Amino acid sequence: MNSPSLPELIDRANSDVVTRMTKCRPRLVDIRPLHEVCDRVTGRVLTHSGPPVGWRSMSGPQRGAAVAAVLFEEWAEDANSAESLVARGEIALIPNHEIGGVGPMGGVLSPNMHVYVVEDEGTQFRAFSCTEFDSFFGAFDHAALEEIRAWNGTVFPCMARAVRSLGGLDLRPIMAKALTMGDELHSRQTASSALLLASLASAIVKTSAAEQSATTLQILAESDLSFLPLSMAACKVSSLAGSGVDYSTVVTVMARNGSEFGIRVSGLGDAWFSAPAPVVEGVYFPGFGRADAGLDVGDSAITETLGLGAFALPAAPSMSGLVGVGVRELNGLSGEMAEICVGRNGGWSIPQLDFGGPPIGIDIRKVLQQSTFPMIDTATAHRDPGHRIIGAGITRAPAQCFQLALDAWLERYAKAEAVGTGDRGVVS
């Protein structure tokens, strides 16, 4: 019997990756301080979004988020002292993705910040994420610090008691329902956040004191993005399930630190392939414009990696203004993303796609063959530290990440027969 050809090996591997991803059943199992979840985050350690980055190359949002985290931990008395600590290298910096986590925007987490712990029931892979605080956009003033303290002092402990009393919370039904209610599960989380509140409200009241319950319910009710970290963590455990499959050319991570945009590929393990981060094209809040905007930042593109966010835009008609197209054109954008993916996620049902699923399994070969780069809908942070969100829009992953990844793939699997396509040497 003849051995399978290289294209056959790739197709089998990619199909396996997508199957692993779509079979995941993410479940919120706990909410705990990060140092209790990850033994690498002990002592003076901060995590951050995107690929590895040092203080000198850190973007404004991450610098501000780092200052806020240091002040929250009381490692310094003021912002200048906090910044000096990190700049001198006295505080270690670790990417969230390297310890099984994700964080929105700057994504800077510290040991005593609570995180959501999400587990895939089948594989027992676990991932963590955290609520999108103003500090993650770079704010470190009194109000930003009080927000972190309120969540970590009251909201998270109340939610944790409720989740434990329920024996965990299955996230997939919430996500499936939200996709039929106007969410694309990245930038729009209105329906999913309301569903989360409905799922936990009774248990919160039963397991916490009246004043704490009232505060928690009010904060959750006022947040349209409370489900975002759960969507991100659910996608992260799914990406972990699809990682490490030999010969696969499927992207398992897209992440940005405000300076660089990095990807990981299943067949290439934990290696990062990075390029300068792009700008976000979109709308700005009054008083801000493109000159104020920082580059793309955050781990939240994990949602697009798993077929949500910009890949599921038809589910969220209200997003049309954000991406600058009419409602009827959203299907075309999702269709464009389907051309660079291995298949569709049959586990999701989007009415605007005739109840089909969004595309999933970004293939680095198809991206380069077609010069079509993954879209991401996202918030926009200021270029300087000390600010909150200034707008939102859409961006695309840079081409260089995919070319670097393909070059590394060819180098790793060079002994297999390669079929060249054009001058890029894309394996067909």
Using a pLDDT cut of 90, give the percent of the chain over it: 89
| 328-366: pLDDT as tens digits | 889 999 999 999 999 999 889 999 998 999 999 999 999
Q: Compute the average pLDDT of residues 316-333.
A: 86
State the architecture of 25-232 in CATH terms: Alpha-Beta Complex (3.90)
Is the pLDDT confidence value at 264 over 90? yes
Q: Which CATH architecture has domain 245-415?
A: Alpha-Beta Complex (3.90)
102-122 per-residue burial string, b: 16 or more CB within 10 A, e: under 16: bbbbbbbbbbbbbbbbbbbee
List the chain domain ranges: 25-232, 245-415
Does 426 score more than 60 pLDDT?
A: no
Share of the chain above pLDDT 70, in %: 96
Residue 424 has pLDDT above 70, yes or no: no
The continuous run of DSSP H or E covering 396 comes out as strand 391-396
**Predicted pLDDT at 420:** 42
Annotate 307-357 with DSSP letters as a single string.
Answer: T-GGGGGGG-GGGHHHHTS-GGGHHHHHHHHHTTEEEE-TT--BGGGTTBP
User: Average of pLDDT values for 59-88?
Assistant: 96
Largest CA distance in the chain: 71
pLDDT at 278 over 60: yes
Give the pLDDT score at 421: 39
Q: How far is residue 183's CA from residue 205's CA, in Å, rounded to a whole number?
A: 27
Q: CA 399 → CA 106, 298, 303, 312, 338, distances in Å?
A: 23, 18, 19, 22, 17
What pLDDT score was predicted for residue 89?
Answer: 93
Quote the pLDDT of residue 416: 53
Confidence grade of residue 149 (pLDDT, cut at 50, 70, 90): very high
Distance CA 230, CA 207 (A): 21
pLDDT score of 1: 57
Query: CATH topology of 25-232 equal to that of 245-415?
Result: no
**Does residue 389 have a pLDDT over 70?**
yes
Share the mean pLDDT of the chain.
94
Q: Which two tokens stand for residue 180?
A: 């039929």
DSSP for 18-76, written as a single string: HHHHHH--EEEEEEEEHHHH-TT--SSEEEESSS---GGG--HHHHHHHHHHHHHHTS-
Strands 45-48 and 92-95 come out as parallel
Each residue's pLDDT tens digit, 40-69:
998 999 999 999 999 999 999 999 999 999
Mark residue 355 as left, alpha or beta (left: phi above 0; alpha: psi -120 to 50; beta: remaining).
left
Quick one: average pLDDT of 272-290?
A: 95
E-assigned strands of 83-133? Answer: 92-95, 114-120, 126-129
